[in-house]
C-alpha cells in the first residue's frame, strides 16, 4: 500500500515527451491511477479500467466546476 510515482522515460510517445503517472494503492478498496497524456491532460482510472478526465473525479467528490477552475487555472480580470 502507498503512493507510487513513475514516468515512461520518453518511450510511449513519438515526440519523446515524458509522460508521468501516479498510483494510489490502499490496504482495501479500489486502486486509483493518475496519468498525463501527451497534451498534458490529466486522467484517472479506477482499478485499471476506463480512462476518464480528472475533473469527473473532482466533481464526484463534491467540487463544482467554478471551484475547479479557480483552483487550477489563473483568472485574468480585465476592465474595459
| Number of residues written out for the chain | 80
Cα distance between residue 50 and residue 23, in whole Å: 15
- Identify the weakest region by mean pLDDT among 8-12, 29-33, 50-54, 74-78: 8-12
Residue 71 in this model has a pLDDT that exceeds 90: no
Fold of 2-72: 3.90.1110
Q: List, for residues 33-60, the tens digit of each pLDDT value.
A: 999 988 889 999 999 999 999 999 999 9
Phi and psi at 44, nearest 5°, equal -135, 160
Beta-sheet pairing, 2-7 with 42-46: unpaired
Residue 10 in this model has a pLDDT that exceeds 80: no
As a whole number, mean pLDDT of residues 7-24 equals 84
As a whole number, mean pLDDT of residues 21-26 equals 96
Residue 78, C-alpha cell as written in the block? 480585465
Amino acid at each position: 500500500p502507498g503512493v507510487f510515482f513513475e514516468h515512461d522515460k520518453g518511450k510511449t510517445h513519438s515526440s519523446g515527451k515524458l509522460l508521468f503517472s501516479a498510483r494510489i494503492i490502499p490496504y482495501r478498496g479500489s486502486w486509483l491511477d493518475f496519468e498525463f497524456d501527451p497534451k498534458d491532460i490529466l486522467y484517472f482510472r479506477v482499478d485499471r479500467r476506463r480512462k476518464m478526465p480528472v475533473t469527473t473525479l473532482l466533481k464526484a467528490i463534491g467540487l463544482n466546476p467554478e471551484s475547479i477552475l479557480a483552483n487550477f487555472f489563473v483568472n485574468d480580470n480585465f476592465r474595459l
